[in-house]
Amino acid sequence: MAAGTGAPPHPRQRERIGNFMGAVRIAILAAAAVAAILLAFIVRGMMSSGEPSEVAAPAEARPVAQVLVAKEDLAVGTRITSTMLGWQAWPVEALNPAFVTDGKTAIPPKDGAERVAEKAGQAAATLMGDNPIQAFEGAIVREAIAAGEPVTTRKVIRGGEGGYMSVVLGPGMRAVSVPVSAETAGGGFILPGDRVDVLQSREDSEGAVITETLMRNLRVLAIDQATEPAEDSNTMIGAVATLEAPAADAEVLVRGKAAGEMILALRAYTDIGGPVGRGGMAEAESQTVRIYRDGEMTEVSVQ
């Protein structure tokens, strides 16, 4: 039968056609695989293009020292306690030789910062000893110190230093010293910081003994030169007591010293909020006595 008459293809022809179709499918699959690989590389490149090519090196740790600072605002005249102070990390390069440090640094500093830190540590050891916080205990603030601000010796006055008493005194007050003894100062139980009344007994023009309260509610600033009692001590016996009195009333104590012995009467803690100022002669209690004579009654006032 002639070709083109619709006769089925020869078996060999069918085999060639099948081989051709298989080769086409393989080529299509290979092209798809190559395209997928190329697409994966393109996507990977796009995702990595926004990332830095190199990881940034960590910042070098800065050397720090522990500086003594105020934990709260300290006003002028504040008596410092250990709870008001604390240590704070401070960059070594920002240290001032006037700062009080613990003499150590977290990381060995370099260059001139090392000398500054060493100098600050030596200053603290010289002025404060091994425990700077304890050395500041009881000191009086001379210049206001803000919370977090380094505490320096220039801004405080410790007991025994010049100018101490002038800072302790309140505005408009004067420090007046009066002679005392164990008998006239509450047996030694009157301590700096207590409140007292100042009394004096004397004879009047007629020879009668009268007792007068010269001043009321005065603060005791010191006994002799001690502005605070010794540790664990409940008594202090001295020869002189320094009292804080209003400027207008200081002369009352001066006249009292000239008139004779004065006695300090310790006030209760619950009475320290009373007024400060001059006292006066105590009013004598009077009683009325009725006298009957010849049927008549007469009232007589007797002190």
**Token match 């240290």: residue?**
95
| pLDDT computed for residue 274 by the predictor | 83
Which pLDDT band, with edges at 50, 70 and 90, does 173 fall under?
A: very high
Average pLDDT taken over every residue of the chain? 79
Rounded distance between C-alpha atoms, residue 252 and residue 197, angstroms: 13
* pLDDT 10s digits, 40-80: 778 777 766 555 555 555 666 678 889 999 999 998 878 89
Q: Is the predicted pLDDT of residue 215 greater than 90, yes or no?
A: yes
Q: In what order do the strands lie in the sheet with 64-70?
A: 85-91, 64-70, 101-105
Determine how β-strand 101-105 pairs with β-strand 140-141.
unpaired
Q: What is the pLDDT of residue 128?
A: 53
Domain ranges of the chain: 64-157, 172-281
Q: pLDDT for 269-286, tens place per residue?
A: 888 888 898 886 544 444
From CA 242, how far away is CA 236, in angstroms rounded?
A: 13
pLDDT at position 101 is 87
Average pLDDT over residues 110-135: 59
Q: Supply 284's token pair.
A: 């004598």
What's this model's pTM, rounded to 2 decimal places?
0.53
Mean pLDDT is lowest, of 124-138, 149-163, 197-211, for 124-138
> For residue 3, what are the contacts with CB-CB under 8 A and spacing of at least 6?
none
Percent of the chain residues past pLDDT 70, beyond the cut: 71
CATH annotation of 64-157: 3.90.1210.10
Measured CA to CA in angstroms, residue 192 lies from 68, 242, 243 at distances of: 28, 9, 9
In the structure, what pLDDT confidence band is assigned to residue 252 with cuts at 50, 70 and 90? very high
What pLDDT was estimated at residue 196? 95
Question: Tell me, what's the pLDDT at 107?
Answer: 44
Over range 74-94, report the average pLDDT.
Answer: 88
Q: Can you tell me the mean pLDDT for 119-125?
A: 51
Q: For residues 174-186, give the mean pLDDT.
A: 93
Residue 119 in this model has a pLDDT that exceeds 80 = no
Q: Which residue has the tokens 């003994």?
A: 209
pLDDT class of 203 with cuts at 50, 70, 90: confident
CA nearest neighbour of 79 among 153, 161, 158, 134? 158
Query: What is the pLDDT at residue 42?
Result: 80
Backbone angles phi, psi at 194, to 5 degrees: -75, 165
Q: How confident is the model at residue 122 (pLDDT cuts 50, 70, 90)?
A: low
Which of 22-31, 137-146, 252-261, 281-290 is the least confident region? Answer: 281-290
